[in-house]
Structure 1
Amino acid sequence: MPSAAERTRTLVQSTCSAVLLVHGVEGARPEQLAPQARVVGPDGEVYLLFPADSPVVRAATHAVHDELPAVLEITDVAPVAVPHRIRGRAWISGWLTSAPGLATEPGAMMLRLEVGEASVDDLWGAGGVEPEDFAAAAVDPLVAHETELLQHLASAHDDQVQTLCALVGDRAAVTGGRARRAVPLALDRFGLRVRFTGEPAFDARFDFPTPVRDVTELRREMHALFAAAE
């Protein structure tokens, strides 16, 4: 399984929604706290792009000693329709400073979040992350494609996804007079996670024999998985 540091780093560099919680700007609207872009620097610092007139930028610019405590909260929501769609959250806390000159967009300002500590609570479990582990962690190679791939599986390959019920045995039996449905919930280099609806719903992991490195290898493993379910 991916480490807590890898999962946190992957969420930071994903398209998941995020808000920056800063002391003194609690009255700001949620959209004012959402960075327009985020990227991790070479030393593990997180750069966040905001409009130059946002309350977060004003707070960072006028902070005492040029450092402002802040927490970046990331919420991961499944890109397909499924019960209990929130897949996890991550928190990056540290010290916020302005980084003039880094923003290429007119009317924007880049802020730098120096990571003090981080944590994640997701489908794998909960765990804390040290700053040096966050800086060294590898991002999952499928993160840029996961949303599109899951939506494609759910819409274009639903019949094949339903065959995965055969791989969970009696757990896929009809419940309450209604047949369970298999919904692709999460995808990473280690395998596919599927949520089986019904009462009670449950998740199952279908691990690949070896971690995939790209979409080409993923296609091969998915073909093998569906063949095993037939």
Structure 2
Amino acid sequence: MPSAAERTRTLVQSTCSAVLLVPGVETALPEQLAPQARAVGPDGEVFLLFPADSPVVRAATHAQDDELPAVLEITDVAPVSVPNRIRGRAWLSGWLTCAPGIASEPGLMMLRLELGEASVDDLWGAGGVEPEAFAAAGVDPITAYETELLQHLDAGHSDQVQALCGLVGDRRLDGSGAVRRAVPLALDRFGLRVRFTGEQPFDARFDFPVPVRDITELRRAMHALFEAAAR
């Protein structure tokens, strides 16, 4: 399974929604706290792009040499319609400073979050992340394609996803005896996670024989999984 550091790094560099929580700007609107872009630097610092007149930029500017504590909260929501769509959250806390001269356009300001600690609570479980581990972690190579692929599976290949019920034995039926609906919930280099709905819904993971490294290997692994389910 991916480490807590890898999962956190993947969430930071994904398209998941995020807000930056800073003391003194609690009354700001949620959209004012959402960075327009985010990236991770070579030492594990997180760069966040905001309008230059945003409340968080003003707070960081006024703090100047003082250390301004901040928490970046990331929420991961499943890109398909499924009960309990929040798949996980991550929190990165540290110290915020302005990084002038980095923003690509006038009217924008890049902020730098020096990481103190991080944690993640997702479908894999909960765990803490040290700054050094976060800086060294890689990003799951499938994350850039996950949203499109899950939506494609759900809309265009629901029959093949539904066939995965055959791999969970008697659990394919809920308490009323009805066949559960199978919904693709998450996809990563290790495998596919499916949520089986109905009474007392549950998740099942279908692991690939080996982790995939790119979209070509992913397609082969998915074909093999669906062929196994069809037997």
Structure-2 residue corresponding to 1:88: 88
Q: In 2, Cα distance between the equivalents of 1:179 and 1:224?
A: 24
- Matched residue type, 1:141: P
Structure-2 residue corresponding to 1:172: 172
- Matched residue type, 1:128: G
Q: In 2, Cα distance between the equivalents of 1:57 and 1:23?
A: 12
> Are 2:166 and 2:229, in contact at CA under 8 Å, matched by a contact in 1?
yes
Structure-2 residue corresponding to 1:123: 123
Structure-1 residue corresponding to 2:59: 59
> Are 1:57 and 1:98, in contact at CA under 8 Å, matched by a contact in 2?
yes
Q: In 1, Cα distance between the equivalents of 2:175 and 2:81?
A: 20
> Can you list the C-alpha shifts for 1:101-144, whole angstroms capped at 9, x where unaligned?
00012210000000000000000000000000000001000111
- Matched residue type, 2:126: A
- Matched residue type, 2:125: G
> Are 1:57 and 1:111, in contact at CA under 8 Å, matched by a contact in 2?
yes
Structure-1 residue corresponding to 2:228: 228
Q: Secondary structure at the match of 1:80?
A: coil
Structure 2: gaps of 5 or more residues:
none
> Are 1:45 and 1:114, in contact at CA under 8 Å, matched by a contact in 2?
yes
Structure-1 residue corresponding to 2:105: 105
- Matched residue type, 2:182: A
Structure 1 runs of 4+ aligned residues shifted over 2 Å read 64-67, 174-179
Q: Secondary structure at the match of 1:96?
A: strand
Structure-2 residue corresponding to 1:181: 181
Structure-2 residue corresponding to 1:44: 44
Normalised to the residue count of structure 1, the TM-score between the two structures is 0.98
Number of residues of Structure 1 aligned to a counterpart in Structure 2? 230
RMSD: 0.8
Task: Give the deviation of 1:98 after TM superposition.
Answer: 0.1
Task: Give the deviation of 1:179 after TM superposition.
Answer: 2.4
> Are 1:76 and 1:89, in contact at CA under 8 Å, matched by a contact in 2?
yes
> Are 2:194 and 2:203, in contact at CA under 8 Å, matched by a contact in 1?
yes
Give me the identity figure in percent. 83
Structure 1: gaps of 5 or more residues:
none
> Are 1:98 and 1:110, in contact at CA under 8 Å, matched by a contact in 2?
yes
- Matched residue type, 1:121: D
Task: Give the deviation of 1:174 after TM superposition.
Answer: 4.3
Is 2:16 the counterpart of 1:16? yes
User: Any residues of structure 2 matched to 1:135-174 within 5 Å, and which?
Assistant: 135-174=135-174
- Matched residue type, 1:48: L
> Are 1:60 and 1:66, in contact at CA under 8 Å, matched by a contact in 2?
no
- Matched residue type, 1:203: D
Structure-2 residue corresponding to 1:75: 75
Structure-1 residue corresponding to 2:31: 31
Q: In 2, Cα distance between the equivalents of 1:226 and 1:198?
A: 22
Q: In 2, Cα distance between the equivalents of 1:178 and 1:70?
A: 48
Q: In 2, Cα distance between the equivalents of 1:50 and 1:107?
A: 9
> Can you list the C-alpha shifts for 1:170-202, whole angstroms capped at 9, x where unaligned?
000243253210000000000000000011000
Q: Secondary structure at the match of 1:105?
A: coil
Q: Secondary structure at the match of 1:144?
A: helix
Q: In 2, Cα distance between the equivalents of 1:223 and 1:129?
A: 35
Structure-1 residue corresponding to 2:196: 196
Q: In 2, Cα distance between the equivalents of 1:174 and 1:103?
A: 53
Normalised to the residue count of structure 2, the TM-score between the two structures is 0.98
Task: Give the deviation of 1:67 after TM superposition.
Answer: 2.4
